[in-house]
Structure 1
Amino acid sequence: MNVARLLRLLVLTGGLLGCQESGQSVFQGYVEANLVFVGPDDPGRLVALSVAEGDRVEQGQILFSVDDTLELAARDQAKAALAEARARLERLQAAQKRPQEIEVLRATEARARVALELSQTELERQQKLYAQGNTSKANLETAQATRDQNRAALEEVQRQIVVGELASHELDIAAARQAVDVAEGQLVAAEQRLSRRTLAAPAAGTVEQVYFRPGEVVPAGRPAVALLPPANLKVRFFVPQALLPRIAPGGVVSVTCDGCAGGLTARISFIAREAEYTPPVIYSLEERAKLVFMIEARPDEPTKFRVGQPVSVMLVEGRGQEASDGLSR
Structure 2
Amino acid sequence: MNARPLILALFAAASLAACSAPPEAPMLGYVELEPTRVAAPYAGRLVKLAVTRGGSVAGGGALFALDADVEQPALLEARARREQSAAQAADLATGKRPAELDSLRARVAAAESALRLAEQDLRRQQDLATQGFLSPATLDGLRERVRSNAAQLAQASADLHAAELAGREAQRAAAASAIKVAEAQQAQAAVRLALKTVNAPAAARVEDTYYREGEWVPAGTPVVSLLPAGSTKLRFYIPQARLPEFPAGSRVEVLCDGCRAPVAARITWVASSAEFTPPVIYSKDNRAKLVYMAEARPEGEAHLAPGQPVEVRAGAPK
Question: Counterpart of 1:85 in structure 2: which amino acid?
Answer: S
Q: Which amino acid aligns with 1:305?
A: L
SS at match of 2:253: strand
Alignment correspondent of 1:306: 305
Q: Deviations over 1:8-50 (max 9, x none)?
A: xxxxxxxxxxxxx964241121111221100111222211111
1:259 alignment counterpart: 258
Report the counterpart of residue 148 of structure 2 in structure 1: 149
- Name the residue aligned to 1:47: 47
Which residue in 2 is equivalent to 1:14? none
- Secondary structure class of the residue paired with 1:305: coil
1:66 matched residue in structure 2: 66
Q: Are the equivalent residues in 1 in contact too, given 2:44–2:216 (CA < 8 A)?
A: yes
Amino acid at match of 1:222: T
* CA positional deviation for 1:309: 1.9
Moved over 6 A (4+): none
Show the counterpart of 1:204: 203
Q: CA deviation at 1:146?
A: 3.3
Q: Which residue does 2:232 correspond to in 1?
A: 233
Report Cα offsets for 1:108-149 as digits up to 9, x if no partner: 211221222233334444455666x47546365454443333
Equivalent residue letter for 1:147: V
Structure 1 residue 304: deviation in Å? Answer: 2.5
**Equivalent residue of 1:224, what SS?**
strand
Contact 1:270 1:295 in 2 (8 A): yes
Is the CA contact (8 Å cut-off) linking 2:276 and 2:288 kept in structure 1? no
* 1:22 to 1:195, Cα distance in 2 relative to 1, 3 A: farther
Asked if the contact 1:25–1:315 (Cα under 8 Å) also holds between the matched residues in 2, the reply is no
Aligned pair in 2 of structure 1 residues 150, 219: CA closer, same or farther (>3 Å)?
A: closer
Aligned to 1:273: 272
Are the equivalent residues in 2 in contact too, given 1:240–1:289 (CA < 8 A)? no
Kindly name which structure, 1 or 2, has the bigger radius of gyration based on alpha carbons. Answer: 2
Does the residue aligned with 2:106 lie in a helix, a strand or coil? helix
2:290 corresponds to 1:291: yes
CA distance in 2, matches of 1:151, 1:222: 77
Distance 1:85 1:22, change over 3 A: farther
Cα drift, residue 175 of structure 1: 3.2
Match of 2:70, SS state, is helix
CA distance in 2, matches of 1:206, 1:303: 14
RMSD: 2.7
Aligned residue for 2:222, secondary structure, equals coil
Length-normalised TM-score, structure 2: 0.80
1:173-220 CA deviation, whole Å, 9 max, x = no partner?
A: 433333332222221111111111111011222111111121222222
Structure with the largest fraction of helix: 1
Q: Deviations over 1:68-108 (max 9, x none)?
A: 2221122222222323333333344443x543232122112
What is the one-letter code of the residue matched to 1:42?
Y
Q: Among the aligned pairs, what percent are the same residue?
A: 40
The one-letter code of the counterpart of 2:42 is D
The corresponding residue for 2:109 is 110
The alpha-carbon distance between structure 1 residues 86 and 244, as it changes in their structure 2 partners (threshold 3 A), is: same
Q: Which amino acid aligns with 1:150?
A: N
Is the Cα–Cα contact under 8 Å of residues 263 and 302 in structure 2 kept in the other structure?
A: no
1:28 and 2:40 correspond: no
1:167 Cα shift? 4.1
Identify the residue that residue 158 of structure 1 maps to in structure 2.
157
Which letter maps to 1:316?
G
Partner of 1:80: 80
Tell me, in whole angstroms, the C-alpha distance in 2 between the residues paired with 1:109 and 1:135: 34
Structure 2 Cα separation of the partners of residues 32 and 211 of structure 1: 20
- 2:155 and 2:71 mapped to 1: Cα distance? 55
Question: For 2:196 and 2:186, how far apart are their aligned partners in 1?
Answer: 16
**Matches of 1:304 and 1:151, distance apart in 2:** 99
Unaligned runs of 5+ in 2: 1-20, 278-286
Contact 1:242 1:289 in 2 (8 A): no
List runs of 5+ in structure 1 lacking aligned partners: 1-20, 279-287, 320-329
Q: Distance in 1 between matches of 2:193 and 2:258?
A: 47
